[in-house]
């Protein structure tokens, strides 16, 4: 979704903004622009397409000044075009905006009736007009913004620049994320810390309906009614280096190769010798965000046990890849913790008026922690009295801050729009969660716990082995170009892995691919099978194996092209498949983490072979902060 960067200080704002926007490219966008106050005037330049197009337009201009805002736009109201790109200006007021103003029709009519000249089709420009009107009355930017807020409905964040008051930026958040970066004699505001890591590691996260006034040496926080708020800053230890490609052709490839390390980082702090300790969850700890780093882990584990003992069922809610991870978790939790699990797509859950019985734990999974539907779902779950637990990658994100309990993927920044390392880190932490929950519910024998922990510890090196077979996956990907369609299938935990494999192929290579439970094949998809259909079978040696082999035979009888992924040197699979890809032998809970890696790599290679934009596939956004 849209990316915002604002800066005031001694550096050249153009450089800070362009570098920040570059770091936000992963969010997805179709146009970009920036505005800087220079010699008392607002210099505003916008361009359609990639940041390179904006860069080409501005590189021969002279840029001075000490305050500016920039934006990458992902179109909602109005087609992608230069005219609709941000920033938008109305008299001396210029702004950038992320989100949606729902009552924009009504505002537009009101403004047109008053003779306003509206230059774009966006809802954003209207807000600039409203602020300009109020500014003319009160001559104070913060008060003008405050007076406009009650006139707007929707979920949106804005950053505002004023020609007549060139030493301040005013920002407001209600929905899409905004974070303030603190510097010495300079301050920043952006949609994501990744835009600012190069300049500072000191941040203040805005909550919904908060206004911030930034000056070069001062940052003040207010409620939307202008009441001052005190908030401590947070120090982050993500280095700028983590957000670079480090020699890989694409962020996605780098992220795929980081997985042995990120999977280890996800689980290691919860493994104590050969057992699991589900600690650092901070259930119902009011001071969790201040004390997170210094938490007494043993005490926290006691607290987690006490809280989870009372839980009788689990709902898991998420979108996209995170939803598929939730589907895998259903198998883990039902088998290991013997607890009923329901799994839901957030956009369905939030509008369905779901019944949440007493003693339900509602767990959300979200890499970004900002997905609008998942955020609304966790809010609804809380309203309905559920205990909530967030599993996310971005600490202090909106979902993280709302939840009663907190688990982290610890995967580091994920820049590639298609999720890879966050998915496997999620599956790894869900292993730990299921084992911890199983212990609490006394449904997990000690011996089984020890074996599964040993298997988790061995996982990173097995992942290294999978990655070392990349040339086979690359060769397999080459053969896929000419098929008319793809069916990914599996049973048990391999079913959501098949869905994730199909999603990766759709997102990256723009092929029609479907993920199916192999047992469902006879109920419809079998009609699709002929020699132009490629079937990717996820077939580890687990207790579904024989059934999956029967499905492969059925595909073979109809001339489908079979690529199967199996455990080790599986002669049976080799015999019946056109291509066989061996995966190191592991147990049923870590298999999904190993088996998804070749599917990520095949989609990656196919996409780069076809010359597509791997890191920013068309129409996609990294964090979907609007519905
Ligand atoms: C993953 O490759 C996708 N880009 C997408 O499905 C993503 O998983 C989904 O939008 C959910 O995002 P979240 O985990 O940040 O909530």
Compute φ and ψ for 182, nearest 5 degrees. Answer: -100, 130
pLDDT at 243 over 70: no
Cβ–ligand 1 distance for 320 under 6 Å, the answer yes
Gap from CA of 419 to ligand 1 centroid (Å): 7
181-211 pLDDT tens trace: 999 999 999 998 889 999 998 999 898 899 9
Cβ–ligand 1 distance for 625 under 6 Å, the answer no
62-84 pLDDT tens trace: 899 999 999 999 887 888 899 99
**Mean pLDDT for the stretch of residues 456-471:** 89
20-33 pLDDT tens trace: 999 888 776 889 99
37-64 pLDDT tens trace: 999 999 999 999 989 999 999 998 889 9
Mean pLDDT for all residues in the chain: 93
Q: Which of 25, 66, 70, 20 is nearest to 44 (CA)?
A: 70
Gap from CA of 136 to ligand 1 centroid (Å): 43
d(CA 229, CA 493): 47
Cβ–ligand 1 distance for 489 under 6 Å, the answer no
Name the band, by pLDDT with cuts 50, 70 and 90, for residue 620.
confident
Cβ–ligand 1 distance for 368 under 6 Å, the answer yes
Q: Which of 250, 248, 251 is nearest to 611 (CA)?
A: 250
404-416 pLDDT tens trace: 999 999 999 898 8
Where do the domains of the chain lie?
Answer: 3-245, 259-464, 469-609
Q: Which numbered atom of ligand 1 lies nearest the CA of 320?
A: 6
pLDDT at 482 over 90: no
pLDDT of 419: 96
476 or 359, which is more confident: 359
Probe ligand 1: pick from 320, 400, 501, 615, max atoms within 8 Å of CB? 320
pLDDT of 289: 87
- Assess whether the previous peptide bond of 87 is cis (omega < 30° from 0): yes
CB-based contact 67:189 (threshold 8 Å): no
**Mean pLDDT for the stretch of residues 163-187:** 94
Ranking 208-222, 261-275, 460-474 by mean pLDDT, the lowest is 460-474
Cβ–ligand 1 distance for 417 under 6 Å, the answer yes
Gap from CA of 151 to ligand 1 centroid (Å): 32
CB-based contact 161:69 (threshold 8 Å): yes
Gap from CA of 505 to ligand 1 centroid (Å): 14
**Mean pLDDT for the stretch of residues 147-176:** 94
CATH architecture, domain 259-464: 3-Layer(aba) Sandwich (3.40)
pLDDT of 208: 85
Please report which helix (H) or strand (E) contains residue 276, including its range.
strand 275-276
pLDDT of 238: 66
Q: The tokens of 623 are what?
A: 């964090």
2 is annotated as an active-site residue: yes
Q: Which numbered atom of ligand 1 lies nearest the CA of 503?
A: 2
Tabulate helix, strand, coil % of the chain (nearest 5). 40, 25, 35
**Mean pLDDT for the stretch of residues 166-174:** 96
Q: The tokens of 415 are what?
A: 């820049």
Gap from CA of 61 to ligand 1 centroid (Å): 38
Please report which helix (H) or strand (E) contains residue 73, including its range.
strand 67-73
Q: The tokens of 319 are what?
A: 């979108």
Name the band, by pLDDT with cuts 50, 70 and 90, for residue 247.
low
pLDDT of 173: 93
CB-based contact 66:85 (threshold 8 Å): no
598-614 pLDDT tens trace: 999 999 999 999 999 89
Q: Which fold has domain 3-245?
A: 3.60.20
Alpha carbon 323 to its chain centroid, in Å, reads 12
**Mean pLDDT for the stretch of residues 365-382:** 95
Gap from CA of 365 to ligand 1 centroid (Å): 10
pLDDT at 242 over 70: no
Residue 571 vs residues 183, 343, 574, 586: alpha-carbon distances, Å: 61, 36, 5, 17
pLDDT of 621: 78
Tokens 């092209």 map to which residue? 561
pLDDT at 1 over 80: no
pLDDT of 212: 98
321-353 pLDDT tens trace: 999 999 999 999 999 999 999 999 999 999 999
Question: Which CATH code fits 469-609?
Answer: 3.40.50.10490
- What is the distance between the terminal CA atoms of the chain, rounded to a whole angstrom? 11
Domains 259-464 and 469-609 share a fold: yes
pLDDT of 240: 64
Cβ–ligand 1 distance for 616 under 6 Å, the answer no
CB-based contact 529:559 (threshold 8 Å): yes
**Mean pLDDT for the stretch of residues 153-174:** 95
pLDDT of 246: 66
Neighbouring residues of 617: CB distance < 8 A, sequence distance ≥ 6: 417, 418, 507, 508, 510, 607
Catalytic-role residue among 2, 162, 319, 392: 2
Cβ–ligand 1 distance for 426 under 6 Å, the answer no
d(CA 247, CA 256): 13
């Amino acid at each position: 979704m849209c990316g915002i960067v604002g800066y005031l200080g001694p550096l050249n704002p153009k450089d800070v903004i362009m570098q920040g926007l570059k770091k936000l490219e992963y969010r997805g966008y179709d146009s970009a622009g920036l505005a800087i106050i220079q010699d008392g005037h607002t210099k505003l330049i916008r361009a359609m397409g990639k940041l390179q197009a904006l860069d080409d337009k501005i590189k021969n201009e002279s840029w001075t000044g000490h305050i500016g805002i920039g934006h990458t736009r992902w179109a909602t109201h109005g087609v992608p075009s230069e005219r609709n790109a941000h920033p938008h200006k109305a008299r001396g007021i210029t702004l950038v905006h992320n989100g949606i103003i729902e009552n924009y029709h009504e505002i537009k009519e009101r403004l047109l009736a008053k003779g306003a000249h509206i230059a774009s089709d966006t809802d954003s420009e209207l807000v600039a007009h409203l602020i300009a009107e109020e500014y003319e009355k009160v001559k104070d930017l913060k008060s003008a913004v405050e007076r406009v807020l009650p006139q707007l409905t929707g979920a949106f964040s804005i950053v505002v620049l004023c020609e007549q008051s060139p030493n301040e930026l005013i920002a407001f958040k209600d929905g899409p994320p905004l974070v303030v970066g603190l510097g010495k004699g300079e301050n920043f505001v952006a949609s994501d810390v990744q835009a600012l890591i190069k300049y500072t590691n000191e941040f203040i996260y805005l909550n919904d309906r908060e206004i911030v006034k930034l000056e070069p040496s001062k940052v003040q926080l207010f409620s939307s009614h202008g009441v001052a708020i005190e908030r401590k800053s947070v120090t982050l230890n993500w280095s700028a280096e983590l957000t670079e490609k480090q020699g890989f052709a694409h962020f996605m490839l780098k992220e795929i190769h980081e997985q042995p390390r990120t999977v280890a980082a996800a689980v290691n702090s919860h493994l104590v010798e050969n057992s699991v300790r589900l600690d650092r969850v901070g259930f119902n700890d009011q001071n969790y965000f201040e004390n997170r780093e210094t938490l007494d882990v043993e005490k926290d584990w006691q607290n987690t046990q006490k809280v989870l003992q009372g839980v009788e069922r689990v709902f898991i809610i998420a979108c996209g890849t995170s939803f598929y991870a939730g589907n895998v978790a259903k198998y883990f939790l039902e088998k290991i913790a013997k607890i009923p699990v329901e799994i839901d797509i957030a956009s369905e859950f939030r509008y369905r008026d779901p019944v949440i019985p007493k003693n339900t734990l509602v767990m959300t999974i979200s890499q970004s922690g900002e997905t609008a539907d998942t955020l609304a779902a966790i809010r609804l779950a809380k309203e309905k009295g559920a205990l909530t637990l967030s599993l996310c990658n971005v600490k202090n994100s909106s979902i993280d801050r709302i939840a009663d309990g907190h688990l982290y993927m610890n995967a580091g920044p994920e820049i590639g729009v298609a999720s890879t390392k966050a998915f496997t880190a999620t599956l790894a932490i869900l292993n730990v969660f299921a084992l911890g929950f199983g212990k609490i519910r006394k449904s997990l024998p000690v011996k089984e716990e020890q074996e599964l922990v040993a298997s988790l510890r061995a996982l990173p090196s097995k992942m290294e082995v999978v990655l070392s077979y990349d040339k086979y996956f690359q060769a397999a990907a080459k053969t896929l170009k000419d098929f008319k369609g793809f069916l990914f299938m599996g049973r048990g935990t391999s079913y959501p892995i098949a869905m994730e494999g199909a999603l990766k192929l759709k997102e990256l290579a723009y092929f029609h691919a479907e993920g199916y439970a192999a047992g469902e094949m006879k109920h419809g998809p079998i009609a699709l099978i002929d020699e132009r259909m490629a079937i990717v079978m996820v077939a580890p040696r687990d207790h579904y194996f024989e059934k999956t082999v029967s499905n492969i035979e059925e595909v073979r009888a109809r001339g489908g092209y079979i690529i199967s992924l199996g455990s080790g040197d599986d002669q049976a699979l080799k015999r019946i498949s056109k291509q066989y890809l061996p995966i190191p032998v592991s147990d049923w809970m870590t298999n999904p983490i190993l088996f998804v890696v070749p599917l990520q790599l095949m989609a990656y290679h196919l996409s780069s072979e076809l010359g597509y934009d791997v890191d920013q596939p068309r129409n996609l956004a990294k964090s979907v902060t609007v519905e």
